């Protein structure tokens, strides 16, 4: 047996050095990413709960009624649905507005949903991509943000869900044709900004997933409205994009295509290396798309990877590492779980969201490391997702 007495201190010194480096790195990260705080709480003059007490009468009744009251406050008489009440949130994102329209239709508030869709129809691009966001009067926001292709997918899904394809056929046709136009010979569109709200050099799942949902919705609309030429063209594009997505992003469906794929051993599913998990993987499954085992596995894996110490979810692995949870992404996983029949996960996440509301009962944009609400409150996207997740727990949502 070797005598290690003379150098027995060495392993402990190495461990101590490594711990010091980790601690320094963590401290530096916290300095670079300070604790976010609450920007605003509630909408001035709004009542605490929705006027219809019958809505949200289940386990999360109070949460849902508050969410609906906030959506009422964020939706202006002209149908413009603000992402938030204050400052840089006081704009209309096609994505957020689409989710609000779907949430309204899911609980039978069709008139309110059609108001939202009517606003989107008025600002729709006759050619090209949807803008990232619009002013409350429908104007373009000249802030340097690039247009976002994902808007075409979200708007198509909302129009189909609300059975408004006949009323807004031109918006459907223009959005679906824009998706087809964007597909390159490899079956995929080029890079575009998505819900991360930044310029992208690579194609992201945040663009691809909504486009798949949008094309499926467009095919359903065209078929129902007896437009066989459009249905055939969009179905072909859907099949092309779907195959390309599986080929390039599968089997883990990270934010950007994996750098490589590893086959661990014969008979074992391959694992993508690189790319980073993204919460938007939820949009590849119910209620946005038919269930597939490989996608459910990817969703569950992403949820595990993205869950923060405070119990919520961060947008992605490549997002800033600050321990802060974002409520829209947490609610996306809640909706996904509810739609896939995973009631335990859905209840855990909805309860977490319920417990971390602001003093006025509003759902905030974020929850910081100290479990305090942070960012803008209320946030329309989160409120709509909570309504949808609660509805999915009670009745299955239609899937295009």
Distance CA 227, CA 219 (A): 9
Quick check: is 296 in a domain?
A: yes
Compute the average pLDDT of residues 80-94: 97
Q: Is residue 4 part of a domain?
A: no
Q: Flag whether pLDDT at 94 surpasses 60.
A: yes
Residue 299: closest CA among 257, 263, 345: 345
Say if 26 falls within a structural domain. Answer: no
C-alpha span between 94 and 81 (Å, rounded) = 9
Is 186 contained in some domain? yes
Same domain for 223 and 92: yes
- Mean local confidence (pLDDT), 218-239: 98
**What are the Cα distances from residue 153, in Å, to 159, 187, 213, 216, 296?**
10, 16, 6, 9, 21
User: Scanning the structure block, which residue is given the tokens 């949902």?
Assistant: 213
User: CA-CA distances (angstroms) from residue 207 to 37, 144, 158, 255?
Assistant: 30, 19, 16, 9
Examine the fold and report which residue of 249, 274, 307 is the final residue of a domain before the chain moves on: 249
Output phi, psi for 306, to 5 deg: -90, -10
pLDDT tens track for 2-61 = 344 445 555 555 455 555 555 444 455 555 678 999 998 889 876 666 555 566 557 899
- Point out the least confidently predicted range of 58-62, 110-114, 331-335: 58-62
pLDDT of residue 261: 57
Radius of gyration of the chain (CA): 22
What does the pLDDT average to over 296-317? 98
Q: Residue 250: which region, alpha, beta or left (left: phi > 0; alpha: psi -120 to 50)?
A: beta
State mean pLDDT over 159-184: 98
| pLDDT score, position 4 | 44
Full residue range of the structural domain in which residue 95 is found: 87-249
In a domain, 382, yes or no: yes
Q: Residue 204: inside a domain, yes or no?
A: yes
Q: Do residue 284 and residue 191 come from a single domain? A: no
Residues 123 and 176 in one domain: yes
pTM for the model: 0.89
pLDDT of residue 77: 97
- Answer yes or no: do 128 and 230 share one domain: yes
pLDDT of residue 50: 58
Signed CA dihedral, 158, 164, 168, 169: sign only: positive
Query: What value does the mean pLDDT of the chain take?
Result: 90
Q: Which residues contact 76 (CB under 8 A, 6 or more apart)?
A: 82, 136
324 in any annotated domain: yes
- Mean pLDDT across 220-232: 98
Q: Angle at CA 31, nearest 5°, toward 27 and 34?
A: 120
Q: Are residues 267 and 150 in the same domain?
A: no
Whether 266 maps to a domain, the answer reads yes
Lowest mean pLDDT among 89-98, 271-280, 315-324, 383-392: 271-280
207 and 92 co-located in one domain: yes
> What is the number of structural domains in the chain?
2
Q: What is the pLDDT of residues 133-150, one digit of tens each?
A: 999 999 999 888 889 999
Both 154 and 191 in one domain: the answer is yes
Q: Helices H, strands E: what count in the chain?
A: 12, 5
Which of 249, 283, 300 corresponds to the end of one domain? 249
Q: What is the pLDDT of residue 55?
A: 65
Say yes or no: 218 and 324 in one domain. no
Please tell me whether residues 230 and 280 are part of one structural domain.
no
Residue 111 above 90 pLDDT? yes
Confirm if 309 and 369 have CB atoms less than 8 A apart. yes
End residue of a domain, out of 249, 279, 299? 249
CATH of the domain at 133: 1.50.10.10
pLDDT score of 262 more than 90: no
In this structure, are residues 54 and 94 in contact, taking their beta carbons and an 8 Å threshold?
no
Alpha-carbon distance of 184 to 12, in angstroms, equals 56
- Residue 209, SS3? helix
38-52, 209-223, 293-307, 313-327: lowest mean pLDDT where? 38-52
Closest CA to 284 of 251, 324, 236, 328: 251
Query: Is the model's pLDDT at 294 over the cut of 70?
Result: yes
Examine the pLDDT at 260 and tell me if it is beyond 90: no
Same domain for 44 and 134, yes or no, is no
Percent of the chain with pLDDT over 70: 85
List phi, psi (to 5°) of 286. -55, 145
**Residues 181, 264 within the same domain:** no
Residues 114 and 45 placed together within one structural domain of the fold: no
Mean pLDDT of 212-236: 98
| C-alpha span between 226 and 253 (Å, rounded) | 34
Sorting pLDDT into bands at 50, 70 and 90, what band is 126?
A: confident
> So what's the pLDDT on residue 44?
84
Between 228-249 and 169-182, two packed helices, what is the crossing angle to 10 degrees?
40
Dihedral of alpha carbons 333, 36, 101, 281, sign: negative
């Amino acid at each position: 047996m070797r005598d290690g007495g003379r150098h027995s201190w060495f392993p402990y010194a190495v461990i101590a050095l490594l711990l010091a480096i980790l601690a320094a790195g963590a401290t530096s990260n916290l300095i670079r990413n300070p604790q976010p705080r609450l920007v605003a709480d509630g909408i001035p003059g709004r009542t605490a709960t929705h006027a219809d007490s019958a809505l949200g009468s289940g386990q999360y009744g109070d949460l849902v009624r508050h969410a609906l009251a906030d959506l009422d406050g964020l939706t202006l008489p002209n149908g413009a649905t603000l992402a938030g009440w204050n400052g840089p949130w006081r704009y209309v994102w096609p994505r957020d507005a689409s989710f609000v329209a779907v949430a309204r239709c899911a609980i039978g508030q069709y008139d309110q949903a059609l108001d939202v869709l009517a606003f989107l129809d008025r600002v729709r691009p006759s050619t090209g991509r949807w803008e990232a966001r619009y002013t409350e009067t429908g104007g373009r926001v000249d802030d340097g943000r690039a247009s976002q292709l994902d808007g075409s997918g979200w708007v198509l899904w909302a129009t189909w869900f609300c059975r408004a394809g006949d009323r807004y056929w031109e918006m459907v046709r223009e959005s679906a044709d824009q998706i087809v136009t964007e597909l390159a010979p490899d079956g995929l569109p080029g890079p575009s900004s998505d819900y991360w709200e930044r310029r992208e050099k690579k194609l992201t799942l945040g663009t691809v997933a909504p486009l798949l949902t949008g094309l499926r919705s467009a095919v359903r609309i065209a078929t129902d409205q007896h437009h066989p030429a459009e249905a055939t063209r969009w179905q072909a594009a859907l099949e092309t994009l779907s195959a390309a997505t599986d080929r390039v992003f599968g089997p883990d469906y990270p934010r950007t295509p994996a750098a490589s794929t590893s086959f661990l051993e014969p008979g074992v599913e391959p694992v993508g290396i690189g790319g980073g998990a993204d919460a938007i993987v939820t949009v590849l499954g119910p209620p946005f798309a038919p269930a597939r085992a490989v996608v459910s596995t990817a969703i569950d894996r992403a949820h595990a990877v993205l869950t923060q110490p405070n119990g919520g979810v961060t947008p992605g692995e490549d997002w800033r590492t600050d321990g802060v949870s974002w409520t829209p992404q947490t609610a996306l996983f809640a909706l996904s779980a509810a739609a896939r029949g995973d009631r335990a996960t859905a209840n855990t996440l909805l309860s977490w969201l319920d417990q971390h509301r602001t003093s006025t009962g509003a759902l905030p944009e974020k929850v910081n490391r100290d479990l305090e609400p942070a960012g803008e409150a209320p946030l329309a996207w989160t409120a709509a997702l909570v309504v949808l997740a609660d509805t999915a727990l009670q009745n299955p949502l239609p899937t295009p």
